[in-house]
Amino acid sequence: MNNKVQLDQVNIHFGKTHAVRDISMTFPENSVTAIIGPSGCGKSTLLRSMNRMHDLVPSARVTGKILVDNGDIYDRSVDPVAIRRRVGMVFQKPNPFPAMSIYDNVIAGYKLNGRLPREEADEIVESCLKRVALWDEVKDRLKSNAMMLSGGQQQRLCIARTIAVKPEVILMDEPASALDPISTLKIEELIEELKERYTIIIVTHNMQQAARVSDYTAFLYMGDLVECGETKKIFTTPEVKRTEDYITGRFG
């Protein structure tokens, strides 16, 4: 299987804090990789480096190489905006645009490409909402405000908004941690389906979730990559004692 995203000795600093140390690993195409670890271990920080979200934080410094399709996304010639269109992101809290309708939310990112004909927009909205299993719930009220939806629906709307841009990689930063169990289940089912088309990297501190949805798992602790490999192996026969302690709930 192809390696879609590849990290090579990635270090991330915030001012004097060394948040992520020397991480090298790969994320295979069309698979789900979970990044787990206790709070503050640098997993979100690592995730955000993969679509250059740290560019917004003046004190943040990313060194090493992050390759998407073997191209370094931190290369000088690369436009971060173009990278973010290839590497989409779903956040912890659902963050639809509150001033927009459901319809406009889905199309908000895609519309940035330029003017698009009405039929094309309709088509994209319908197919994206269908893919996140939201279409049947909202098809009669596409023009109503996105904030009228429940938290779980809002999160699925945000995923629809992300895939409308046609990314290759989707980063998910604890996408279900603000949701109830049933909504969480729906998001997990959705992740399972989405991996057929996209490479998914998900940060979670819910270990059952990591075990359920991911093909590969990486365990981070205090900014270091402790262990990574197939999820089955990490959860049954981890090589490092600390990994075992964490997944069995002895700390963290």
Partner 1 sequence: MEIDARSSYCSNETETKVASVTARRRPTQDTKKVNGDYVFRCLTTLFALSILAILALMIYEMTGESMPAIKAFGWKFVSSREWDAVQGNFGALPYLYGSVVSSVLALLLATPLSIGAALFITEVAPGRMGAIVAPLVELLAAIPSVIYGLWGVLVMAPWLQSTVQPFLIEHFGFIPLFQGAPYGVSMLAAIFILMIMVVPIITSITREVLLAVPQSQKEAAIALGATRWETIKIAILPYGKSGILGAAILGLGRAIGETMAVTMVIGNAPNISLSLLSPAYTMPSVIANEFAETTSKLHASALMEIGLILMVVTLVVNALARLLIWSVSRSAKGGAA
| Closest CB 24 distance from partner 1, rounded Å | 21
Asked if 57 interacts with partner 1 (CB under 8 A), we say yes
- The two structure tokens encoding residue 205: 């501190």
Closer of 162 and 199 to partner 1 (Cβ): 162
Asked if 112 interacts with partner 1 (CB under 8 A), we say yes
- The two structure tokens encoding residue 15: 């001012």
Cβ proximity of 235 and 209 under 8 Å: no
- The two structure tokens encoding residue 128: 């994206």
Closer of 17 and 24 to partner 1 (Cβ): 17
Residue among 159, 248, 231 at smallest CA distance from 197: 159
| Closest CB 196 distance from partner 1, rounded Å | 22
**Contacts (CB under 8 A) with partner 1, residues 84-103:** 84-85, 88-89, 91, 93, 95-100
* The residue count for the chain: 252
Neighbours of 64 (CB within 10 A): 17
Distance between alpha carbon 138 and the CA centroid of its chain, in Å? 24
Which position has the token pair 């279409």? 135
Taking the C-alpha atoms of 63, 28, 217 and 178 in order, what is their torsion angle to the nearest 10 degrees? 80
| Burial of 174 from C-beta contacts in 10 A (0-12 / 13-18 / 19+) | buried
Q: Which residues pair with 27 in a beta bridge?
A: 5
Identify the residue among 82, 116, 148, 240 touching partner 1 (CB under 8 A): 82
Asked if 14 interacts with partner 1 (CB under 8 A), we say yes
Distance between alpha carbon 17 and the CA centroid of its chain, in Å? 24
Site string (142-181) toward partner 1, x via CB under 8 A: -----x----------x--xx--x----------------
Closer of 173 and 227 to partner 1 (Cβ): 173
Identify the residue among 1, 16, 58, 77 touching partner 1 (CB under 8 A): 58
Which position has the token pair 């993969």? 50
Q: Near partner 1 by CB under 8 A, which window of 46-54, 62-70, 188-196, 229-237?
A: 46-54
Closer of 36 and 60 to partner 1 (Cβ): 60
Q: Which residues bind partner 1 (CB under 8 A)?
A: 14, 17, 19, 44-45, 48, 51, 53-54, 56-58, 81-82, 84-85, 88-89, 91, 93, 95-100, 108-109, 112, 147, 158, 161-162, 165
